[in-house]
């Protein structure tokens, strides 16, 4: 960091006007001025699908940026000007490096940053309880380097109260006062990997502060990097806003997944039904069934709220029911695979199965909570011989829960015809579906790609 930045940071940390209220106002105003003048350094902790695009955006608009991650491989890639996320080109990293982007595994650098944005995972524990260890461990690692005149923004999806109950006490344990000489907001991430219609700056940004003064600083932080910032009355409101967005999707997907089962029993194509219903110009929004929920948000976020709601004596029956339906989809798909093989006189044990698409959504390489991986495990447990093909995932990545050692299979007529069953789990645009349909012995389609009835296609 340059000497000018270090001296300015020290000025904020040591100024001491006689009246405490005036001193707090002075600290806040000076921080806002620095943010608006873009003389601040922005530190972003957690450089995954959320943190890296945000880091690049702040660099793009002229801030000096510091990226921090405990994954040394990510840091090495950034230092070399290379990307490790498929939809983020290496030239974007190289441009940011030319503008002064720094990347490190060392948390000490945040001492010279005016703003610290936390974008770390918030997974579920073994019993679907919130696991905030990434958040709390990050705050604890940052704590020795926090000082007056900084703002921390938490972007990790979590239950209402996390910012006030978990983050704020850890900050104030360092002798800081949130809302007076230190500022704290919650601003939930809204990244959608692979969505070419929206960029980080064009997605409206919700922001809620622990105090009104915190919100004022939070708006100054984001307003020059994001086209539209949406203020809300508190951090808790912002936290619940994010959960509502994703629970809305989870519940509607649960509904259409249940409708899929009903339609299947009635021998009706649910995808045809959805396409027809979507022609109504009002009162209907199409959601599509699949083999289960994927991504870091939708399979996880509902359980954060159901867990917290119990503290208030509320049993979230509707949300939990949708979660049960969505969680059962991989088993339902596997049952369809077994039935389809049985009808052709084959047992699942010993059958060769090719899974098409193992990312959680189409046209990206994002593997987080992918239902395709659970399908692979369930079929393997039943004795199937599994391979996969995914143009976005060349080698099966390291994962905490699953341990497969595969490479993606190249698709040609000979390779496709060698499998007893081809299971379409993720409908990437790069797949040659005409080739697949022509040469596959049997296809189980979980995405409604094959529109016309075919002798070798079973809808699931």
Concatenated DSSP letters of 373-440: HHHHHHHHHTT-EEEEE-TT-SBPPP-SS-----BPPPP-HHHHHT-SEEEE-S--TTS-HHHHHHH-
Question: What are the tens digits of pLDDT across the range 224-258?
Answer: 999 999 999 999 999 999 999 999 999 999 999 99
Do 9 and 152 have their domain in common? yes
Does residue 14 register a pLDDT over 70?
no
Of 197, 214, 233, which residue sits at a domain end?
233
Check if the beta carbon of residue 158 is closer than 8 Å to that of residue 297.
no
Identify the three-state secondary structure at position 356. Answer: strand
Q: Confidence class of residue 452 from pLDDT cuts 50, 70 and 90?
A: confident
Domains contained in the chain, number: 2
Task: List C-alpha distances in Å: 447 to 112, 275, 288, 353, 457.
Answer: 49, 13, 8, 17, 12
In a domain, 252, yes or no: no
Q: Could you tell me the residue range of the domain that residue 227 belongs to?
A: 3-233
What are 459's strand-pairing partners? 445
Which of the following is catalytic: 119, 207, 214, 297? Answer: 297
Q: How many CB atoms lie within 10 A of CB 385?
A: 15
- Side-by-side strand order, sheet with 457-459: 385-389, 352-356, 421-424, 443-445, 457-459
In a domain, 7, yes or no: yes
Question: What are the tens digits of pLDDT across the range 307-352?
Answer: 999 999 999 999 999 999 999 999 999 999 999 999 999 999 999 9
Task: Say which DSSP state 187 is in.
Answer: -
Does residue 280 register a pLDDT over 70?
yes
* CATH number, residue 349: 3.40.50.720
Task: List C-alpha distances in Å: 310 to 243, 298, 303, 305, 392.
Answer: 16, 20, 11, 9, 40
In a domain, 249, yes or no: no
Do 210 and 328 have their domain in common? no
Do 438 and 331 have their domain in common? yes
Length of the chain: 460
- Asked about 337 being catalytic, the answer comes back as no
Do 186 and 85 have their domain in common? yes
Q: Confidence class of residue 5 from pLDDT cuts 50, 70 and 90?
A: very low
Average pLDDT for 44-60? 96
With CA atoms as reference, report the closest residue to 220 among 118, 149, 143.
149
Do 224 and 296 have their domain in common? no
């Amino acid at each position: 960091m340059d000497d000018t930045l270090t001296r300015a940071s020290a000025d904020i940390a040591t100024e001491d006007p006689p009246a405490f209220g005036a001193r707090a106002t002075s600290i806040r105003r000076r921080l806002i001025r620095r943010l608006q003048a873009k003389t601040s350094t922005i530190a972003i902790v957690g450089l995954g699908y959320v943190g890296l695009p945000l880091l690049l955006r702040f660099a793009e608009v002229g801030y000096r940026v510091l990226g921090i991650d405990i994954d040394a491989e990510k840091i090495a890639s950034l230092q070399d000007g290379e990307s490790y996320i498929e939809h983020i080109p290496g030239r974007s990293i190289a441009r940011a490096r030319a503008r002064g982007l720094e990347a490190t595994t060392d948390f000490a650098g945040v001492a010279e940053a005016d703003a610290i944005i936390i974008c770390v995972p918030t997974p579920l524990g073994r019993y679907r309880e919130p696991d905030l260890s990434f958040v709390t461990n990050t705050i604890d690692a940052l704590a020795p380097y926090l000082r007056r005149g900084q703002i921390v923004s938490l972007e990790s999806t979590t239950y209402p109260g996390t910012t006030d109950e978990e983050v704020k006490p850890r900050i104030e344990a360092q002798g800081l006062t949130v809302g007076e000489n230190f500022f704290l907001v919650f601003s939930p991430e809204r990244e959608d990997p692979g969505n070419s219609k929206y960029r980080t700056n064009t997605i409206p940004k919700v922001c809620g502060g622990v105090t009104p003064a915190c919100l004022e600083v939070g708006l100054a932080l984001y307003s020059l990097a994001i086209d539209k910032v949406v203020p809300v009355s508190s951090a808790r409101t912002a936290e619940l806003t994010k959960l509502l967005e994703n629970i809305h999707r989870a519940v509607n997907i649960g509904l259409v997944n249940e409708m899929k089962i009903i339609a299947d029993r009635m021998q009706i194509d649910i995808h045809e039904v959805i396409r027809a219903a979507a022609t109504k110009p009002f009162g209907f929004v199409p959601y599509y069934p699949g083999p289960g929920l994927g991504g870091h948000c939708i399979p996880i976020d509902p359980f954060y709220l159901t867990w917290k709601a119990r503290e208030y004596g509320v049993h979230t029956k509707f949300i939990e029911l949708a979660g049960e339906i969505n969680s059962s989809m991989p088993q339902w798909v596997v049952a369809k695979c077994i039935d389809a093989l049985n009808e052709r006189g084959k047992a699942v044990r010993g059958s060769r199965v090719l899974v098409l698409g193992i990312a959680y959504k189409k046209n990206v390489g994002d593997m987080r909570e992918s239902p395709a991986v659970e399908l692979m495990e369930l079929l393997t447990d039943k004795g199937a011989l599994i391979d996969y093909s995914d143009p976005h995932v060349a080698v099966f990545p390291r994962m905490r829960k699953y341990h497969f050692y595969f490479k993606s299979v190249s698709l040609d007529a000979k390779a496709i015809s060698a499998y007893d069953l081809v299971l379409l789990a993720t409908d990437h645009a790069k797949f040659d579906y005409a080739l697949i349909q022509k040469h596959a012995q049997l296809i189980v389609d979980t995405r409604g790609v094959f529109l016309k009835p075919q002798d070798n296609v079973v809808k699931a």
